[in-house]
Structure 1
Amino acid sequence: MISRLFALMKKEFLAIKNDKKSLVVVIIPPLIQIFIFAFAATLEVKHINLAVFDKDGSVQSQQLIQHLKTSEYINSLRRVEHLDQIEELIDTEKVLATLVIPQGFAKNLTAADAEVGIIFDGRHSNTAQIAEGYLTAIITNFTAQTFNRELPISLQSHFLYNQNLNNFWWIVPNLFGSITMIVAMILTSLSIARERELGTFEQILVTPLHPFEILLGKLLPALLISTFESTLILFAAVFLFDVPVIGSLPLLYTGVVIFLFSMSGVGLFISALSNTQQQAILGSFVFILPSFLLSGFATPIENMPSWLQPVAEFLPLKYYLLLIKGVFLKDISWSDSVELLLPMIGLGIVFMGIAMMFFRKHSR
């Protein structure tokens, strides 16, 4: 029995060794992923983009602002002069929070009765809560260094777009995008590989169909099924988890179709390269896992190293998550959505073009 077992193990090792594509998929991607994930999967908030609205204009308020600037957790600090600027900066995600220093801050500080207000972007509820703790510690440290004793400063926090910091309002829109991505990727990545594995690929090639028509025939069913899946998830989000959909449903479904088109292009590209369904599934997850971590699904892109952040620009999921949360929580307009829809369209065309190129090469 043991000898037969070792013989079978030897056979499997030889099969893996001889299958160069599977060998590359098994060895190389995990090494790359462990390197990327170590930097991307961090729950620390080290790069807070902060705005300050100083109504007091006193020496003490200026000292507080300078103290914030020197903190290792503050990435950038903007000064605002009007309340309208606060909402605009948070709305466009240029800042995570705005510190509001009220009039009479210096006077109340010496009387140990000072308070400041902080307005956070509630769409990033987990990050906002962590940042709230950091800012509280920074302000407490300011009074200890400046006055050689801790003076109580009351923090009044307000969270835009998710006032109660409901975790479902943050995680469900993210899952709405991510689950549909997986469905579209798996369906399309298996399509051509399945034909090759079953031996029917050559039969399709001898038909009068143009290669573009074959790819389109593989794309449209996956697109329709994934859109239907999105509808089911939407119903669950609204009726089971009570997540509001404040924005436009036509805009939501426009984003869904464009995103699924781009992800189906990636799936068809993987399928055109794969000889078996196993290779197609492995190839899909090589793309899916980095997409989760580098798109801002779990942790902010701003927290990642500067050399890693540009990678997110080539991931459709990054733009889709911004669009979905914009439609669900803040009624994003069609004009504002253009800068999110166009990159997804461009990436979809590029991926489909590459898939077409490899499909033609492998069909000869």
Structure 2
Amino acid sequence: MIGRLFALIRKEALAIKNDKKSLFVVIVPPLIQVLMFSFAATLEVKHIDLAIFDQDGTHTSQELIQAFKGSPYVQTLLRVHHQDEISELINTQKVLAVLVIPSGFGKELLSAKANVQLLLDGRRSNTAQITEGYLSSIVQTFFLSKQPTSSAVSIQTRFFFNPNLSNFWWIVPNLFGTITMVVAMLLTALSIARERELGTFDQILVSPLRPFEILIGKLVPALLISITESLLILLAALYLFGVPLMGSLTILYTGVIVFLFSISGIGLFISAISNTQQQAILGSFVFLLPSILLSGFATPVENMPSWLQPLTALTPLKYYLVLIKGVFLKDISWAIAWSQIVPMFCLGVIAMSIAMIFFHRRSR
């Protein structure tokens, strides 16, 4: 029995060794992912974009501003000169937080009754909470340096778009993107590979259909199923988890269709270069895992190293998450929506073009 078992083990090892594509997929990408994930999957908040609205204009308020400038956590510090600028900066995600120093701050500090207001972007609830802790600590340290015997400083905190920091308001829109991505990716990645594995691929090639028409035929059913899946998730988000839908359904589903088109293009490319369904599944997860981490799903893109951030522009999920959270929580306009939809569409066109090239070569 041991001899037969050893022979089977040897046969399986040789099969894996001879399958060069699968061997490459199970060895090289994990090593790359370990390096990438170590930098991308971090819960630290090191690069805070902060704006300060100084209504006091005294030497004391300038000292507080200098305390923020010297902090290793603050990446950029913008000065706000009018109340209306605050909403614009947070709406467009140019800053994560705004510190408001009220008039009379310097005098109130002398009487140990000083107060400041901290406004944060609640769409990134976890990051906003960590940022609140960092910035509050800086304010408290500054106050104690001026009034070491008192702790009467008041920090009034307000979170835009998610005032109660509900976890559902943050995680459900993110899942709205990632789950539909997984469905669309697997459906398209398995489509052509399944035909090859079952031996029906040659029958399709001898049909009157051109390669482009075959790809469209594989694309449309996957799109329809994924859109239906997204509708079910949307209903669960609204009626089960109570996530508000502040924006337009038209904008939302324009983004959904374009996003699924781009993901399906990548899935068809993976399927075009795969000989078996196993290779297609492995190829899909090689793309899915980095895509989720680099999209800002769990940790902000701004916290990633500068050399890694340009890679995030290559994943459609990054733009999609910005779009759907904007539609769900803040009623974004078409102008803002197009800034996210156009890059997704371009990535989809590129992916479909590459899939067409490889499909055409493999079908000869």
**TM-score, structure 1 normalization:** 0.98
Whether the 8 Å CA contact 1:127–1:300 is kept in 2: the answer is yes
Shift in alpha-carbon separation, 1:310–1:328, aligned structure 2, 3 A: same
Contact in 2 for aligned 1:90/1:96 (Cα 8 Å): yes
Residue 340 of structure 2 is aligned to residue 340 of structure 1: yes
Residues 51 and 79 of structure 1 are in contact (CA less than 8 Å); yes or no, is this contact kept in structure 2? yes
SS of 2:46's partner is: coil
Q: 1:66-117: per-residue Cα shift (whole Å, max 9, x none)? A: 0100100000000001111000000000000100001111111111111100
Aligned equivalent of 2:215: 215
Q: Name the residue aligned to 1:57.
A: 57
Is the contact between residue 141 and residue 150 of structure 1 (CA under 8 Å) also seen in structure 2? no
What is the distance in 1 between the residues matched to 2:352 and 2:47? 36
Partner of 1:283: 283
Q: Offset of 1:152 from its aligned partner?
A: 3.5
In 2, the alpha carbon distance for the partners of 1:153 and 1:3 equals 77
In structure 2, the gaps of 5 or more residues are none
Q: For 1:224 and 1:35, locate their aligned partners in 2 and report how far apart those are by CA, in whole Å.
A: 36
> In structure 1, the residue corresponding to 2:117 is in which secondary structure?
strand
Partner of 2:14: 14
In the TM superposition, what are the counterparts of 1:346-357 in structure 2 within 5 Å? 346-357=346-357
1:263 corresponds to: 263
Instruction: Give the match for residue 191 of structure 1.
Output: 191
Percent identical across equivalent pairs?
67
Q: Is the 8 A contact 2:177 2:320 kept in 1?
A: yes
Q: 2: distance between equivalents of 1:347 and 1:109?
A: 54
Counterparts of 2:147 and 2:72, CA distance in 1: 21
**In 2, Cα distance between the equivalents of 1:75 and 1:144?**
24
- Quick one: which amino acid aligns to residue 265 of structure 1? G
1:271: how far off? 0.2
SS in 2 for 1:116: strand
Give the Å deviation of 1:147. Answer: 5.4
Name the aligned partner's letter for residue 336 of structure 2: D
Equivalent residue letter for 1:195: E
- Structure 1 residues without counterparts, runs of 5 or longer: none
1:59-138 map, 5 Å: 59-138=59-138
Task: Find the aligned partners of 2:270 and 2:152 in 1 and give their Cα distance.
Answer: 58
Residue 146 of structure 1: CA displacement? Answer: 4.8
Contact 1:51–1:77 under 8 Å retained in 2? yes
Q: Structure 1: how far apart are the matches of 2:312 and 2:352? A: 19
The corresponding residue for 1:240 is 240
1:198 and 1:57 map into 2 onto residues whose CA distance is 75
Amino acid of the structure 1 residue aligned with 2:114: A
* Mapped partners of 1:175, 1:127: distance in 2: 17
Q: Say if 2:112 and 2:147, in contact at 8 Å, map to a contact too.
A: no
**What is the DSSP-based 3-state SS (H/G/I as helix, E as strand, rest coil) of the residue aligned with 1:234?**
helix
* Amino acid corresponding to residue 133 of structure 2 in structure 1: G
1:151 positional shift:
4.3
Deviation of residue 220 (structure 1)? 0.1
Aligned residues: 364
Q: Render the CA deviation track for 1:184-215: whole Å, top value 9, x for unaligned.
A: 00000000000000000011000010000000
Kindly provide the CA deviation profile for residues 213-259 of structure 1, in whole angstroms up to 9, marking residues without a partner as x. 00000000000000000000000000000001010001111100000
Q: Distance in 1 between matches of 2:137 and 2:29?
A: 40
Distance 1:29 1:203 in 2: 34
Opposite residue 241 of structure 1, the aligned amino acid is F
Matched residue of 2:124: which SS? helix
Say if 1:223 and 1:257, in contact at 8 Å, map to a contact too: yes
For the aligned residues, what is the CA RMSD?
Answer: 1.0
Q: Tell me which amino acid in the other structure corresponds to 2:67.
A: H
**CA deviation map 1:241-298 (0-9, x unaligned):** 0001010001111100000000000000000010000100000000000111100000
CA distance in 1, matches of 2:136, 2:161: 22
Once residues 34 and 144 of structure 2 are traced to their aligned partners in structure 1, the CA distance between those partners, rounded to angstroms, is 41
The Cα shift of 1:166 comes to 0.6
The 2-side partners of 1:78 and 1:172 are apart by 32
Local SS of the residue matching 1:123: coil
Aligned to 1:47: 47
Aligned amino acid, residue 89 of structure 2: L
2:29 is matched with which residue?
29
Work out the CA distance in 2 between the residues paired with 1:299 and 1:210: 43
Of 175-184 and 149-158, deviating more is 149-158
Work out whether residues 115 and 155 of structure 1, in 8 Å CA contact, stay in contact via their aligned partners in 2.
yes
The 3-state SS of whatever aligns with 1:82 is: coil
Check whether the contact 2:112–2:150 (CA below 8 A) recurs between aligned residues. no
Q: What is the match of residue 229 of structure 1?
A: 229
Shift of the alpha carbon at 1:144? 3.6
1:145 deviation in Å? Answer: 4.0
**Aligned 8 A contact 1:140 1:152 in 2:** no
- Give 1:291's aligned amino acid: S
Q: What SS does the aligned partner of 1:288 have?
A: helix
Q: Which residue of 2 aligns with 1:252?
A: 252
Q: What code does the residue aligned with 1:141 have? A: T
Alpha-carbon spacing, 1:150–1:203, altered in 2? closer, same or farther (3 Å): farther
Query: What SS is found at the alignment partner of 1:95?
Result: coil
Partner Cα distance (2:145, 2:186) in 1: 57
* Preserved CA contact (<8 Å) 1:56 1:106: yes
Cα distance in 2 for residues equivalent to 1:74 and 1:298: 20
Contact 2:176 2:230 in 1 (8 A): yes
